[in-house]
């Protein structure tokens, strides 16, 4: 008779145990994905300044005035060759469309 009550209790403990760990794994994944997004966007800071708040009159266009959508359009135009430039065409070609989207979402004006 005792085993009948014990079994659900053990199952419950196992369940709580595993959901706790999967919750932790999710949190770690979210951190890693945030870090990935920020490090992709950090490449741009060398020229455009942190978060696109460029150096005014530094010769580099400010990009924090663009919305994510506008930025993605420009990045894709650089990548396809539709828009010419000195640096950006080469740079944009180094990223997948998904990465450009991630960068634009990260840096675009909210």
Residue ranges binding ligand HEC (CB under 6 A): 43-44, 46-48, 60-61, 63, 66, 71, 74-75, 85-88, 91, 103, 107
Residue nearest to ligand HEC as judged by C-beta position: 85
Residue whose CB is less far from ligand HEC, 37 or 91: 91
Residue whose CB is less far from ligand HEC, 13 or 87: 87
Torsion of CA 18, 22, 27, 31, to 10 degrees: 130
Q: Which residues of 21-43 are buried (b: 16+ CB within 10 A; e: fewer)?
A: eeeeeeeeeeeeeeeebeebbee
**What is the nearest approach in angstroms of ligand HEC to the Cβ of residue 80?**
14
Gap between the Cα atoms of 4 and 54, Å rounded: 68
Residue 27 to residues 30, 31, 106, Cα–Cα distance (Å): 5, 6, 19
**What is the nearest approach in angstroms of ligand HEC to the Cβ of residue 34?**
17
**What is the nearest approach in angstroms of ligand HEC to the Cβ of residue 72?**
9
Residue whose CB is less far from ligand HEC, 27 or 43: 43
- Token representation of residue 9: 């209790």
**What is the nearest approach in angstroms of ligand HEC to the Cβ of residue 13?**
48
């Amino acid at each position: 008779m005792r085993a009948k009550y014990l079994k659900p209790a053990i199952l419950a403990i196992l369940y709580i145990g595993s959901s706790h760990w999967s919750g932790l794994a999710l949190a770690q994944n979210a951190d890693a994905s945030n870090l990935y997004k920020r490090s992709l966007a950090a490449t741009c800071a060398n020229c455009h300044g942190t978060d696109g708040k460029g150096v005014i009159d530094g010769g580099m266009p400010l990009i924090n005035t663009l919305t994510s959508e506008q930025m993605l359009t420009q990045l894709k135009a650089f990548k396809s060759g539709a828009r010419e430039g000195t640096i950006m065409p080469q740079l944009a070609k180094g990223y997948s469309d998904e990465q450009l989207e991630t960068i634009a979402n990260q840096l675009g004006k909210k």
